[in-house]
A and B are shown apart, each in its own frame.
Chain A
Amino acid sequence: MIEMQNKAQTPKNQSTEKKTEKVPNIYEVDDLNLWYGNDQALYEINMDIPQYQVTAIIGPSGCGKSTFLKTLNRMVEMVPIVKTTGAIRYGDQNIYEDKYRVEDLRTKVGMVFQKPNPFPKSVYDNVAYGPRIHGIKDKKTLDQIVEKSLKGAAIWDELKDRLDENAFGLSGGQQQRVCIARALAVEPDVILMDEPTSALDPISTAKVEELIQELKKDYSIVIVTHNMQQAARISDRTAFFLNGELVEYQETDQLFQNPEDKRTEDYITGRFG
């Protein structure tokens, strides 16, 4: 079991490759279908997600983009009536195999949610949460991890003297960056972001967007956004979802300037949605 797990970890030192060249994939989604009870929410999704890039997922609300994101770390299973078919390969393992442990997957795939959701604990305890649940107890190690993660989330300078404060007392933008730091603390391979700026003001949004650009050096990022400009600004590739189908998946520039599908064009030119 441990051996298989090691294989799933993709080596880190290939990040210097150029975008235009063949980039290794972190995820390969094959024929994914998903139902909530009897209602099908995703239809035959096929999609390769490249490593060390920002992949944006856009589409009108209810199109299945958040649902798709949550299939990538199996958070979609929080709803008990969900059924899936098809495969999502992470590394070279199908994460929907019965023997695959979600806890392992979620350690390697961090998530940032729509609404900032810090625990009602101190900033320090929030960031140290991941390492602690995975068994790291040594205070010195935790200190280092907390500092590194907060620096990684570009919020260390703001909060280094307020580590004991309850994270609930922070501003929305700070809370969201603490949540990002919390996700960074276990050094995942992938970070999934579900409309991470939708609850934030423009200044905080700009900070988070800047941060995402920084983060893609070390992490593969998949971001769901309802904001097309945001997708255009920060992503390398963009996928357009409509009614549970993947309509178009392209280099971002390509998709916005020269969409292949009529429906994509209608959406990005604001004709619906």
Chain B
Amino acid sequence: MESKNLNGRVLKNRVMKTLFFSATVIALVFLVLLFYRVLSQGWGYLNWNYITSFPAPYPEEAGIWPGMIGSLMLMGVVAVVAVTIGISTAIYLEEYSPKNKLADFIRVNIQNLAGVPSIVFGLLGLTFFVYLFGIGYRLLAGGLTMALLILPVVVVSSQEALRSVPTEVKEASYGMGASKWQTIVRVILPAALPGILTGIILSLSRGIGETAPLIIVGAATAIYTLPDSLLSKYTVMPIQIYKWTARPQEEWQFVAAAGIIVLLIILLLMNAIAVWIRNKYQTRY
């Protein structure tokens, strides 16, 4: 009797294990299918011409060039703004802020900002940057909007990197008579830099795939000149992909898929660089 009961329990355990494993596999299968779909549809359209061409009315002639340049320029703006403000905020919170209400408020606020849908940041950018500041539907407005969007991620990852610098090392610096700022600039930041850089690259790679807020702040859909200043009209890769996907003819799906390959390759490169920096330069304490 008892062993029969035990057999049943063991069997149940085995069945459920298979089920749990299958669930994990299903999630992975989606990933494989997605990559397969993108590659099989887009590979044929991906060539040098595609990368260096402007959008065109015919699928065979269309290209992603202005989107790539636009995305890179946009990331330039985002990097400058988000990195400066993000690292400063992290230094303030980790090294300077006494345990007071304001600092706690800033921390909670950053946590909540990270949960605001990206499209709401688009609305913020539309009111403030596009209209109230009078920038219009230009690169700068998109860059500032995106910078605010990824700011929480930059702050949190920088905080973690700063926190990983052990107290003993900071004490060594203070013990030499170094001031707080000297300790931060000469010891803490250099030691935290790999972690901070990794976080920034990962945040930027999130930003480079964002679409919705840029639609709201008016990234153009088709553009025939490259942006040459912060106040140029611009488009980005995800928006080009979106527009191509939305067209009914199947050929445009292929064009979109080719664009997705380019976008995914750029993301892959950014992530590879982040991992490389982490493994190569991270000091293990």
Which residues of A are at the interface with B, using a C-beta cutoff of 8 A?
A: 73, 75, 78, 80, 102-107, 110-111, 113, 115, 117-121, 129-130, 132-134, 168, 179, 182-183, 186
Majority DSSP secondary structure for residues of B touching A: helix
0/1 interface trace, chain B 165-184, chain A, CB 8 Å (1 if under)? 01111011111111100100
Q: Distance in Å from the Cβ of A140 to the closest Cβ of chain B?
A: 21
A122 to B175 alpha-carbon distance, docked (Å): 19
**Cβ of A78: which chain B residues have Cβ within 8 Å of it?**
167, 171, 174
16 interchain pairs, CB-CB under 8 A: A73-B175, A75-B174, A78-B171, A104-B177, A107-B176, A111-B171, A111-B175, A113-B168, A117-B171, A120-B283, A129-B173, A129-B186, A133-B173, A133-B178, A133-B182, A186-B177
Majority DSSP secondary structure for residues of A touching B: helix
Chain B: interface residue total (CB-CB under 8 A): 21
Could you say which of A117, A118, A121, A186 has the most chain B C-beta atoms within 10 Å of its C-beta?
A117
Tally A-B pairs: CB < 8 A. 69
Closest B residue to A115 by CB, please name it.
B168
Which residues of B are at the interface with A, using a C-beta cutoff of 8 A?
A: 98-99, 166-169, 171-179, 182, 186-187, 190-191, 283
Select B169's contact among A103, A117, A130, beta carbons within 8 Å. A117
Could you say which of A119, A168, A179, A183 has the most chain B C-beta atoms within 10 Å of its C-beta?
A119
Q: Distance in Å from the Cβ of A119 to the closest Cβ of chain B?
A: 6
Contact A179 B172 (CB under 8 A): yes
**Cβ of B283: which chain A residues have Cβ within 8 Å of it?**
120, 168
Contact A120 B176 (CB under 8 A): no
Given A120-B283, A121-B190: A133 and B171 within 8 A (CB)?
no
Q: Distance in Å from the Cβ of B59 to the closest Cβ of chain A?
A: 53
Contact A117 B186 (CB under 8 A): no
**Cβ of A118: which chain B residues have Cβ within 8 Å of it?**
172
Contact A103 B179 (CB under 8 A): yes
Contact A117 B98 (CB under 8 A): no
Q: Distance in Å from the Cβ of B233 to the closest Cβ of chain A?
A: 46
A110 to B173 alpha-carbon distance, docked (Å): 11
